[in-house]
A and B are shown apart, each in its own frame.
Chain A
């Protein structure tokens, strides 16, 4: 009989929240669209930048005397020397990317075989200017190398004499594993995915939680509901399951959003990243326990609140609370996480996700994280039950 009532409440609440536009917007539309949109816009900006960098970079050379460098730079591909009456204004406007100040005695020093002074002036606010500066820097370096080579040859020295080492780089990939791609994409992935899996249970479940607790109070339907033949716990369980489902839908839709986004814009996410089935299982497990816990907490807070507005005010800080561990761990090295950090609730969930994403399967970390989270889930549920049985919370006015 109890089970029956739970199902009746669950079905009714589902019907009710999915007739609500807010549910569709928060649980489905936003999560599905936000990433494709974000990636699309970021990609647009990046494409623009790439395009600018691919065309010749306008530079201005400030020098009073003729010198070899000016001549070298005018011949360099990728750079174009332009003339300007007011070069600094042009730099500020972005018409010129870099100004090269060549010392008056540059050519003289070059001939004397002493270092000649060059100053590169760029606009620190402009990304394009910063990137252009490194291009110019490289061009000047290769000019220097050419001079160096000539001088060594004049002395009858093989340039290789001055290069005692030759370094190459290779990331270590343990046997049976695949490369995770470059460092930046690993960081992006190990930040973004835990971030979503922590946050979306709340984003997806919150409108439902507000409506099913405080909303019921606000429209004065709680009293009639509590006076029906249904037991209070079955009503609570039905409501809890509805919020849980909305949370899970939020997570699923946001992940689908990322999948869609990577189809649109393959540059933004590491290509060919494979998450092993074990890692996938652990991540789903963590996200599910988060949803189990947060659904309970959101429902209790919502039941305590007098109105939807009040519930919204109490609930929104949860989002920020969950962001803290994801930002805190952003620059943490996954290889050397101290064991004790896995005893910190929420932080351990994020850390574990980061580990399994790079295929570090540490049974101790998994055991600690899951047992601690399980305790939190139980506490959250007991708290929800306590609040729902507390007359001063239900009839708070």
Chain B
């Protein structure tokens, strides 16, 4: 599970995240909903120990992201949107192996896991080809296999479908669903409501570095009497606009 306690990040003069408290239960999928620049990526980067929080901390499966960053990284897998970030001159297998080894996997276990992933993601045909010539969908599958190869209990997704075509986006959404079925704890950031409604148990709306509302989709609908999209616009739109 993930417990975020007073997490804050200041870049020079800009306070990107202004003290967030949030917890995600084991096996839960939390949707982090917010506009561009709301603080979603900064929050996820802090959870992934890429950025050091200015204040506060978070525990991931009981491990502190500030004090125990190395241990935290073994617990998590990340899939960040936009470009896929593969090494074009390496084969699909080499790309995946690199991350498996950096996550301290034993060779045998790694090979077994890669065979398994190649099979379920239907990558068998091109595992030993260099990824430079792959289509976007093929690359997306390699990126997915790479982030999950060490079978982390916690997954962080930052706008994983942004910039993808429909087919590639479906591959990613299917993957998130299978993570959910495997019982992983997931934080998933997005600015598209439909995606959040499709995949998440609970949603937290982030605006200008603060969580303005959090709860499960159903109870939010009941509480405000409108669907999530309208609620989102209301919460981040008029009411909070200065």
Contacts and interface: CB of A to CB of B under 8 A. Distances in A.
Interface stretch (B84-92, B182-190, B221-229): B84-92
B217 to A, nearest CB: 28
B74 A229 contact: yes
Contacts of B12: 392
A219 B102 contact: no
Interface in B214-241: none
Contacts of A230: 73, 102-103
A224 B78 contact: yes
B52 interface: yes
Contacts of B98: 8, 12
Interface stretch (B43-51, B192-200, B202-210): B43-51
A268 to B, nearest CB: 38
Interface centre among B51, B73, B143 (most CB of A within 10 A): B73
Interface string B48-59: 111110000000
A19 B95 CA distance: 14
Contacts of B103: 228-230
Contact of B104 (A9, A222, A226, A229): A229
Interface residues of B, number: 35
A20 interface: yes
B11 A392 contact: yes
A111 interface: no
A162 interface: no
B151 to A, nearest CB: 12
Given A8-B98, A15-B90, A16-B90, A229 B82 contact: no
Contact of B50 (A1, A226, A229): A226
B3 to A, nearest CB: 19
A20 B87 CA distance: 11
B85 A221 contact: yes
A22 to B, nearest CB: 11
B94 A227 contact: no
Interface residues of A, number: 26
Interface string B91-133: 0001000110111100000000000000000000000001000
B88 A227 contact: no
Nearest to B146: A224
Contacts of A220: 80, 82-85
A226 B143 CA distance: 15
Interface of B: 11-12, 45, 48-52, 70, 73-74, 76, 78, 80, 82-90, 94, 98-99, 101-104, 130, 143, 146-147, 150
Given A5-B102, A221-B85, 20 more contacts: A8-B101, A12-B87, A12-B98, A15-B94, A16-B87, A19-B89, A219-B85, A219-B88, A222-B85, A223-B50, A224-B143, A225-B102, A226-B48, A227-B48, A227-B76, A228-B73, A228-B99, A228-B102, A230-B73, A394-B50
27 contacts: A5-B102, A8-B101, A8-B102, A16-B89, A219-B85, A219-B86, A220-B80, A220-B85, A221-B85, A222-B85, A226-B50, A227-B48, A227-B50, A227-B73, A228-B102, A229-B73, A229-B103, A229-B104, A230-B73, A230-B102, A231-B70, A391-B50, A391-B51, A391-B52, A392-B11, A395-B45, A395-B50
Interface of A: 1, 5, 8-9, 12, 15-16, 19-20, 219-231, 391-392, 394-395
